[in-house]
């Protein structure tokens, strides 16, 4: 479909030879997104299914849900929201305009999509002034998505405000930079969420989950309710590197109240006392002492 250079990294979108209508986006050879253009609700990766199930539970079926996506990829979850909650207002924050526009040109959104995009650095945009604040800010200009319907659709505020569900998926190829994983950053995400809003953070980690435990401690310092979902056995010291999803909210989480939401086989879920034990003495990440996420090429994971 396309090959695009982003500075010194190559982004590629290819169609599956065995599954027509399915496309994979990769950066530097690392898979970022899989999209089904024939059925946007068909999700390949377990972690993205966990997030999708939480989105399903965040409002009544088919009801509008203002969803914010930090990091666009090939818009797998945005397409899912549009397919299951047609016309829901959605906002995307994306650092790479050229990649985004190439994806949209190759894989257009549904004509009913009410989705806007802000191009820029997620931390800079998160730090910008909210309507009720009066402090220095860095303006960010939203741009309509090519091909998305805007006339007659519910407008998405040009500000990122009162998000009902926020997906934090901010990868720089295979690494999450510490400036979008700190307590200061997540405080801004919380400030931009609705009172009952849910935040889902996608990580990649393995035993002893030092990075994920620090991220969990960080979110736990901001939100009243936290749950960690992972498909790997949390106590397996020979287990593989895998996705870890942290759900956070100031209201009780549906994935905790109704764990069957996550389907079968049911992933491991940590909350309440088990979560406190798992976090143990992990330090909160701040701008001053944060670290980037583990490099999957590190020999530690071999």
Note the pLDDT tens digit of each residue in 236-253. 777 778 999 999 999 999
pTM as predicted: 0.91
Q: Would you place residue 177 in the very low, low, confident or very high pLDDT band (cuts 50, 70, 90)?
A: very high
Choosing among 3.40.605.10, 3.40.50.300, 3.40.228.10, 3.40.50.150, the CATH entry for 46-301 is: 3.40.50.150
pLDDT of residue 18: 85
pLDDT of residue 240: 77
The distance in angstroms from the start CA to the end CA of the chain is 32
Residue 156 has pLDDT above 80, yes or no: no
The token pair that represents 56 in the structure block: 């399903």
* Mean pLDDT, rounded, for 44-56: 96
Tokens 């996506």: give the residue.
69
Task: Decide: 197 and 172 in contact? Cβ < 8 Å.
Answer: no
Residue 121 has pLDDT above 50, yes or no: yes
Q: Which residue has the higher pLDDT, 150 or 264?
A: 264
Closest listed residue to residue 246, CA positions, set 270, 266, 267, 281: 270
Q: Considering the chain, what is the average pLDDT of its residues?
A: 89
CA pair distance 97, 146, nearest whole angstrom: 12
CA pair distance 12, 2, nearest whole angstrom: 6
Q: Would you place residue 141 in the very low, low, confident or very high pLDDT band (cuts 50, 70, 90)?
A: very low
The token pair that represents 74 in the structure block: 């090939």
Strand 268-271 and strand 22-27: the pairing is: unpaired
- For residue 250, the tally of other CB atoms under 10 A from its CB is 16
CA pair distance 93, 117, nearest whole angstrom: 6
Burial class (CB in 10 A: 0-12, 13-18, 19+), 276: middle
CA pair distance 87, 62, nearest whole angstrom: 9
pLDDT of residue 13: 95
Query: Going by C-beta distance under 8 Å and a sequence separation of 6 or more, which residues neighbour residue 228?
Result: 212, 216, 244, 245, 246, 247, 269, 270, 271, 275, 278
pLDDT digit string (tens) for 161-170?
A: 999 999 999 9
pLDDT digit string (tens) for 201-225?
A: 999 999 899 999 999 999 999 999 9
pLDDT of residue 126: 94
Residue 134 has pLDDT above 90, yes or no: no
Q: Of 59-73, 127-141, 222-236, 253-267, where does mean pLDDT reach its minimum?
A: 127-141
Tokens 């050879």: give the residue.
29
Q: Would you place residue 139 in the very low, low, confident or very high pLDDT band (cuts 50, 70, 90)?
A: very low
DSSP 158-190: SS--SEEEEEE---BTTB--GGGSSHHHHHHHH
CA distances from 280 to 110, 214, 276 (A): 45, 10, 6
Q: Of 10-14, 138-142, 261-265, where does mean pLDDT reach its minimum?
A: 138-142
- Percent of the chain whose pLDDT exceeds 70: 90
């Amino acid at each position: 479909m396309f090959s695009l250079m982003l500075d010194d990294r190559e982004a590629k979108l290819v169609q599956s030879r065995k599954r027509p209508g399915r496309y994979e986006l990769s950066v530097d050879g690392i898979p970022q997104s899989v999209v089904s253009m024939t059925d946007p609700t068909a999700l390949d990766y377990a972690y993205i299914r966990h997030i999708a199930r939480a989105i399903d539970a965040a409002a009544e079926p088919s009801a509008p849900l203002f969803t914010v996506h930090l990091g666009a990829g090939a818009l797998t979850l945005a397409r899912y929201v549009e397919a299951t909650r047609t016309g829901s207002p959605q906002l995307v924050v994306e650092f790479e305009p050229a990649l985004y526009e190439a994806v949209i040109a190759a894989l257009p959104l549904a004509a009913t999509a009410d989705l806007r995009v802000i191009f820029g650095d997620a931390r800079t945009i998160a730090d910008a002034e909210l309507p009720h604040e009066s402090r220095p800010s860095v303006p960010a200009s939203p741009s309509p998505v090519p091909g998305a319907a805007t006339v007659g659709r519910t407008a998405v505020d040009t500000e990122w405000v009162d998000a009902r569900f926020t997906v934090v998926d901010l990868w720089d190829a295979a690494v999450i930079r510490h400036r979008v994983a700190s307590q200061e950053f997540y405080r801004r995400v919380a400030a931009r969420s609705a009172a009952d809003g849910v935040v889902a953070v996608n990580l990649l980690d393995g035993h002893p989950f030092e990075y994920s435990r620090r991220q969990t401690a960080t979110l736990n310092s901001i939100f009243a309710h936290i749950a960690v979902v992972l498909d790997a056995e949390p106590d397996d010291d020979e287990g593989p590197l895998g996705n870890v999803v942290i759900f956070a909210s100031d209201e009780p989480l549906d994935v905790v109240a109704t764990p069957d939401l996550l389907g079968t086989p049911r992933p491991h879920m940590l909350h309440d006392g088990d979560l406190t034990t798992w976090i143990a003495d992990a330090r909160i990440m701040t701008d001053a002492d944060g670290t980037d996420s583990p490099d999957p090429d590190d020999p530690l994971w071999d």
